[in-house]
Each structure stands twice: as structure tokens, then as C-alpha cells.
Amino acid sequence: MRRNKLEIIYDILKAIQDKGGKIKPTHLLYKSNLSHKRMKEYLDSLMNKKLISVSQEKTQKMYAITEEGFKFLAEYEKIREFSDAFGL
Amino acid sequence: MVNFNPPLWFVGIDSIIELFAMIVCILLVLFSFKARRYTQNRVFTYFGIAYGLIGLGFFMKSISNILINTNILNHSNSLINFFNYGFVLYLFSTLIGYLILTMVFLKIKSKKVVALITLLVLYLISFSRYYLGIFNLLATFLLFFICLSVFQNHFEKRKGSSRAVVIGFTLLFFSHLLFIAYQIGGKIIYNTLLQPNSTFYAISESLQLLAYVALLITIVRVTKK
């Protein structure tokens, strides 16, 4: 089933959270199931919204989920539960 | 004047039940609009509007009941008018609320179908001599379809919160059905449609209270996650 924009954002943030809050771009590409171009667009958008941050660790770029990102995930999970409860 | 005759011991309790239901409706509205803000999904807006209207109906019914039962203004004409207008507003806003919920749950998107059903419901409630009976009949009819939808959802999801929603809507369905059972019974036995008597009113309101408790449990479960 085709995911909407919000579900893709949720999947990206969840992937980072599941990896302990930090993830390599290659892992994220694999986990989010997006093309490189599309993933870059989403990551830029998430950084603009301050939901994730990027850092350089040795030679590797790492994406980390921010406090705002954790809050977004928690709220989104509540909304999903609400939506599931009523079948909306 | 609208004859809605609660038993003496129940006077005031009904208003408290309605205010409680109104608070649950407000919580549902707030959560829906929050969900809309996060997801940009219009379904949540419609859901919020539906519960806003149902909550408004409870508020009007509760306030008009409090005013009439506390003898403020000594049952002056203006008070009786307020009671009648409040009650009529309750009927209309509750039915339109249920109607929007039905559209949301059954995922009806055709504007023509929505317009047709809305006009039919408004016509039936506006021009019927037995508007109280018609109100309960239409409410039962709409709630029947809502119940089917939430039952189906529960069988797919099998979650505690979806079970609470099923219980809530089923109790609401039976609370309206009780009035109809009484009125149809009256038609068969006495060949006249009866106004709901006091016991039926008390039982129906109590079922409504339990229904909104179930919906409150759903909200609590969802927000505690």
C-alpha cells in the first residue's frame, strides 16, 4: 500500500529511534525504503522542522532524532491509536 | 411544550449526565483537531465537527433542563421558550452530528449522497408530528450503521480501545432504541404514539452515561500510550 507523506516521516523517525537515536544514511535509505533523491528531500524537510539533526562522526555522516522528533513520534503514535480505535 | 418527563428522583441527575457527555465530546473535539493538525487528514475535522455538534446539543439540553427544573423565572413564557428552543437545538445538532459521524465511518464521499441523506433527515425531523419518535428512530438508524462499522473495525484491529468504542456506540444505540420500543409498544397497545415515560427516560440516560464513560476510557487509553 502506498504510504502518505506523514507515514514516510513516521517511518524515517521510527527507524532512527529504533537504532538508538542515531543512524547512518545508508541504513536509513534501506530502512525507509525510498530512493536516494526522495530520502534527501525528506531529510532536508525534517532538518528544517528540527525533527532531526546531522553530525559528522569520523568520516561518517550520522542522522540523529531530536527532542522535537521524539515528541512528534509520541504524538503521532497516539493519533494512530485514536484512529485505529474508531476505524477512521 | 416538549413533554420530556424525568422521574422526580432523576431531576438534576440527567443534567449532570449531559454535562459529563458534553465534556467527553469536547475532549474528542480537541483530540480530533490535534490529529488534524499533525496529519492534515480531513476526516479528523469532520469527526471533530460531529462531536462539537453533539456536545452543543448536550449543553443546550442540560442548560434548558436545569432552568426548567430549578423554577428560575417561575416558568415564565420566556423560560418555556428557551426550554423548547434548547430542546429543538439538541435534536437538530445531535442528529446532524450522528449524520456526519455516519458519513465518516461509512466513508461516504459523494457530495450528492451526503446532500440527499442530510435533506431527508432534516425534512423528516422538521415536518413530522411525532418529532421525538422520529428523532430517536433516525438516531437509532444512523447509530446502527455506525455500530456495524465500529464492530468491523474491532474485528480487524482487536484492540482494547476499539472494544471500548464498540461498547460506547452499542450502548448509545440501545439508549435511543429504548424510546422507540416504548413508543411502538404504545402504538400497538393503545393505537397512539406515547411520549417516553419517566422510567424509560432514566434508563436511556443511564445507558448514555455508560456509553460516554466507554468513550472516555478510549480517550484515556489513547492519550496514556
- Would you state the pLDDT for residue B1? 38
Question: What average pLDDT does the structure give for chain B?
Answer: 83
Bridge partners, A62 (sequence order) = A55
At B134 the pLDDT is 84
Residues A57-87: tens digit of each pLDDT:
778 888 999 999 999 898 888 988 898 899 8
pTM confidence score: 0.83
Angle at A31 between CA A25 and CA A36, to 5 degrees: 50
Contact flag B222-A78 (C-beta cutoff 8 Å): yes
* Contact assessment for residue B24 and residue B223, using Cβ atoms and an 8 Å cutoff: no
Q: Is the dihedral of CA B122, B113, A86, B43 positive or negative?
A: negative
Query: Is any Cβ of chain B less than 8 angstroms from the Cβ of A7?
Result: no
Q: Are B209 and B172 in contact (CB under 8 A)?
A: no
Cell numbers linked to B199: 422510567
Residue pLDDT, tens place only, B32-63? 999 898 887 889 999 999 999 999 999 988 88
Yes or no, beta carbons of A81 and B225 under 8 Å apart: yes
If one counts every other C-beta atom within 10 angstroms of the C-beta of residue B44, the result is 23
- Residue B225 CA to residue B222 CA, distance in Å, equals 6
Residue A57 pairs in a beta bridge with: A60
Residue A52 C-alpha cell reads as 532531526
Q: Examine the pLDDT at A25 and tell me if it is beyond 60.
A: yes
Report the pLDDT value the prediction gives residue B192, as an integer from 0 to 100.
57
Q: Which residues of A touch B156 (CB under 8 A)?
A: 87
What are the pLDDT digits (tens) for B87-137? 888 888 999 999 999 999 999 888 888 888 888 888 877 777 777 788 888
Instruction: Give B213 or A1, the one with higher predicted confidence.
Output: B213
| Side-by-side strand order, sheet with A60-65 | A22-23, A60-65, A52-57
pLDDT cut 90: percent of chain A above it: 17
Shortest Cα–Cα distance, B9 to chain A (Å): 35
The pairing of strands A52-57 and A22-23 is: unpaired
Q: Tell me the C-alpha to C-alpha distance, in Å, between residue B90 and each of A75, B21, B82, B85.
A: 33, 13, 12, 8
Number of H helices, E strands in chain A: 4, 3
Closest CA to A88 of B174, B55, B46, B220: B46
Is residue A4 pLDDT above 90, yes or no? no
Measured in angstroms, the CA of B162 and the nearest CA of chain A are apart by 4
- B31, B153, B164 ranked by CB distance to A87: nearest: B153
The mean pLDDT of B161-177, rounded to a whole number, is 93
Chain B CA closest to residue A5: B39
Q: How confident is the model at residue B220 (pLDDT cuts 50, 70, 90)?
A: very high
Q: What is the pLDDT of residue B61?
A: 86
pLDDT score of B190: 58
Query: What's the Rg (C-alpha) of chain B?
Result: 18
